[in-house]
Structure formats: structure tokens, C-alpha cells
Structure 1
Amino acid sequence: MAGSTTAERGERQQESSGPPPVRRLRRRHLRVIVILGLALLFFGTPTLWLFYGSDWLRAETVSVSGTRVLTPAQVEAAADVPLGEPLISVDTDAIETRLRQKLPRIDAVDVVRSWPHGIDLKVVERTPVLIVQKGGRFVEVDDEGVRFATVSEAPKGVPALELTLSRSSSAAASLRRFGESRLVREAVAVARAVPAAVARDTRTVKVRSYDDISLELRGGRTVTWGSSEKGAAKARTLTALMKASPDARHFDVSVPTAPASSGS
């Protein structure tokens, strides 16, 4: 009887050695996927239920910190936190957006989940640097030139801003070039650069043009500041000038390298 051919012996040898390596690897991967799926189903379902379905981790309280002029009740009302919803699903970005839109006095706010039941609203309010009188009320302006609130009483210690733009060609050109908002920001920059001792005595910041800004101090004293440029140098010069001429009524630091004082 004739023996088997070489091809037949090869086929029998392949069958006896089991499936090819690639096929075994695929089966092993399939088993791993099935095991992982069962593990996720077993452990994941209770976790999802804990965060989304149970009453243990729901938003129930709101706390507010950092307010000075605003009241916690105002902040809480504007935040409109969805109480009763799962804490994990509360949209903190949406709460922050609502607060900024409804309460322009808020400069920054951090909305934080406080497990297991709370939402913390950490507020930073804007601080007025200047005020603009409008009728019988006052508009507060912060250190970025933002007009953020209108109040019935002027806050103490905050200078008034007067935009007294002259009819001169230079003033008209300054207004066309920079616009009123830019001129307000220039006045804010000057107010921030003024030395602390002088700032306490500053009653009014007057803007006639971009490079013609002056200060009115208590006691009838005035300071010609010029533009907001070189603010630090002007502040140092003004401090030295006031010490050298304590009885002067007018100080000019518009050119800090060539200051002047006059009056007594």
C-alpha cells in the first residue's frame, strides 16, 4: 500500500499542532474583552447609580464667600444652582457664566463642588478706581476701565473722573484717534500710578485729551500729569517735588525729567 504524500503528512501535522498563532491570539483577546466587560458591568453599574441615581450625592446647599458689596443672597439667586440634581452633573461653567452676566460687579468667580451635597461660590468683586457722576448717581469704574455698577452714593476715597474734552483741534483729534473708552482707561492708569499719599488726597482726575490729564487735590492743589506714559517716573518725581516744595499749590510732572512747582 502506497504511503501518504508529503502534502498529506504536512496537513496532518498542522491539524495536530492546533490553530495558527494568529487565531489563538484573537481568541485570547476576545476572552480578555469579555472579562473586562463583565467587570465593568459588575463594578460600574453601582458606581454610576451612586453618582447619578442615588440621593446621597445631590446638590442640596450653596455657600457664598468673598462678597463685599453684593450680598450672598444676591449671588445665590443669580447663580441659580439646580438644587436636587446629581452633584456630578451640575454645570459649573454655566453657573459662572450666569454670575458674570447678571452681576457685572463680579470680577472673578470659582464654582466648586463640595462633596457630598454642596456648591461653593468663591467671588472676587471689582474695586472702583474712579467714579463718573451721571445725574444724581455714580458709575463705578474698575482698574481695567470697566464701568461695572451704578450706585446712589459715591464710595468713599474714590476720585471722580471728569472728561472735560476741550474744543481745541488737538483734543478733537485725540478723541477721534483713541475714543472715549481709551481715554477713560488712560485716566485709570494715571489714578493707579499716583503715589499712595497723593492718591488719598486726590478728589478729581480730569481728562482734556490723551496727553493732558491732571489731578485736583484737597486744599486746592493741582498736578499736571500729562499722559499716562512713564507713570512710575512721574510718581517718583511728584513725591520728591512735594517734599522739596511743601507749600506749592501747583505741580507739573508731565515731563518727569523737568518738573516744576509754583504758587504758595
Structure 2
Amino acid sequence: MGRVGRPAGLLLLTVAVVGIAAWLVFFSPVLGVREIQVVGNAGLSAEQVRQTARVAGGVPLATVDVAQVRARIGAIPRVESVKVSRTWPDTLRVEIVEREPVATVPSAGRSALMDRHGVVVEVRDVAPPVLPVLRVSRPGPRDPATTAALGVIVALPGDLARRVAEVLAPSAETVSLRLKDGREVVWGGGDRPAEKAKILVTLLERRADSYDVSSPDVVIVK
């Protein structure tokens, strides 16, 4: 009986240990959420992110649906991407990449700040002077002209981008820039952006009213 009883006893002990471990992980507040760590945020407050996550303190970390938390936080207009992960024993980590405005679009007397994908990040009464004004007929992420114009803005070196007052795009192939000093730049389509930007930086050293870099192989200065 003794030899038979020992395996049975070990089995019961194993089952008990597994049961206790499962209870600790999935049901007990011992391994519950005590902190929601938010990193990568600048314009968003950590508290706003925590409230949007809607994860109660003490809920077992293992039972948190990270996909749902990611979806809720990802719906914040300012968020471009988000990663949610568990850090044992008691922390939910939220890593955020925020949308960065690259242009402003006039909207009902106010200014909509738009990111590189054509998504409106926020709307302000007064536009930030460092951002160029985007002039398109149908601003939005699915509009080819908007996409082309934003691609041009992103392609410009920082010093040059800060000199641009307006970006006009009647179509995706007819993008042009108006600099803050009044000079005009004919950019054309979205092809060869890095090459066009490099050529334009050199051309602007020559005083003129208009610069055409729509065909980088044959530029025109007037």
C-alpha cells in the first residue's frame, strides 16, 4: 500500500500546486495590475491613456485583454500606433507613438493639424506658425492630392520645411510650394522627392522668383 500510495500522493500534491498557481495567476489579486506604465507620450497625458485603457487596479494581469486595450488606446486621434504588453508581476506597459502634425488645413475659421498620413490630430483656433498651410480640394487620408502634398512636406529637410508657407496641390501631379519670402516652387508629382529636395536647396541660393524642379533632370529658374 505504501508504494501505491506514494505516486497517488505525489499526483495530488502536483494537482494542488498547479491549482494554487493557476489561482494566483488568473484569479488572485496577488499578481493583479498595480501600475499602468505609459511611455512615448508627449502631447497626451499618461492619465488620459490610463483612463482610456479602462483596466481596473487589482485585476489579474494574466486576464487583461491586451488586444482590447490596444484598440481602445489606438482610437485616440493623437495616437499613430500603440503596443501593450505585460511586465510581471504587476505592470501593464503601454508604448505609444504619437501622430506629429506636419501641416495645417483651414477648417470653418479654425486650423486642423494634419499628420503625414492625412489624419487630423487636433483642431486649433490659431495655426502654429511653423507648420505650412495645405491647400487641397478634398483634404483627407484617401485623397491622392493630399497624400502627394504631405509626401512633399515630409521629404523636405527641416530648415527648408520651416521656410514653406503654403503647399498647393490641385492634383497629385501638380504640387507647388510658396515660401515665406514669396518665392514659388513648382514641385510636380511625388516622384524622386529626395532628389528634388536636394536640388531645391542648392537652387534657392540663387535669387529668383520661381524654381521648377518637377523634372530634376531639367530644372528651370526664373
Alignment-derived partner of residue 214 in structure 2:
254
Q: Is the 8 A contact 1:203 1:217 kept in 2?
A: yes
- Identity %, equivalent residues: 31
Aligned-pair CA distance for 1:240: 2.3
- What secondary structure, in the 3-state scheme, does the structure 2 residue paired with 1:233 have? helix
Aligned-pair CA distance for 1:36: 8.5
Trace 1:180-195 onto structure 2 (pairs within 5 A).
181-195=143-157
Alignment-derived partner of residue 109 in structure 1:
82
Aligned-pair CA distance for 1:135: 1.7
Determine the C-alpha separation between the residues in 2 that align with 1:163 and 1:139: 13
- What secondary structure, in the 3-state scheme, does the structure 1 residue paired with 2:165 have? strand
Q: Is the 8 A contact 2:147 2:172 kept in 1?
A: no
More helix by share: 1
User: What one-letter code is carried by the residue in structure 1 that aligns with 2:219?
Assistant: P
Alignment-derived partner of residue 133 in structure 2:
160
Q: Is the 8 A contact 1:112 1:120 kept in 2?
A: yes
Structure 2 regions of 5+ residues with no counterpart?
Answer: 1-6
Trace 1:69-218 onto structure 2 (pairs within 5 A).
69-101=43-75, 103-163=76-136, 181-218=143-180
Determine the C-alpha separation between the residues in 2 that align with 1:195 and 1:136: 30
Q: Is the 8 A contact 2:144 2:171 kept in 1?
A: no
Alignment-derived partner of residue 15 in structure 2:
41
* RMSD of aligned Cα (Å): 2.4
Aligned-pair CA distance for 1:96: 0.5
Aligned-pair CA distance for 1:38: 4.1
Determine the C-alpha separation between the residues in 1 that align with 2:132 and 2:8: 72
Aligned-pair CA distance for 1:233: 2.0
Q: Is the 8 A contact 1:241 1:259 kept in 2?
A: no
Superposed CA offset, 1:211-232 (max 9, x none): 2111011111111111111212
Alignment-derived partner of residue 226 in structure 1:
188
Aligned-pair CA distance for 1:95: 0.4
Aligned-pair CA distance for 1:63: 2.6
2:40 maps to 1:66: yes
2:18 maps to 1:56: no
Determine the C-alpha separation between the residues in 2 that align with 1:153 and 1:36: 73
Alignment-derived partner of residue 3 in structure 2:
none
Change (3 A) 1:45 1:136: same
Determine the C-alpha separation between the residues in 2 that align with 1:96 and 1:164: 34
- What number of residue pairs does the alignment pair up? 214
Structure 1 regions of 5+ residues with no counterpart?
Answer: 1-32, 166-178
Aligned-pair CA distance for 1:49: 1.9
Superposed CA offset, 1:16-46 (max 9, x none): xxxxxxxxxxxxxxxxx97995464132012
Superposed CA offset, 1:103-154 (max 9, x none): 1210111222233222222211011122211023222222222234323332
User: What one-letter code is carried by the residue in structure 2 that aligns with 1:49?
Assistant: W
- TM-score computed with the length of structure 2 as normaliser: 0.86
Determine the C-alpha separation between the residues in 1 that align with 2:132 and 2:114: 10
Aligned-pair CA distance for 1:79: 1.1
- What secondary structure, in the 3-state scheme, does the structure 2 residue paired with 1:70 have? coil
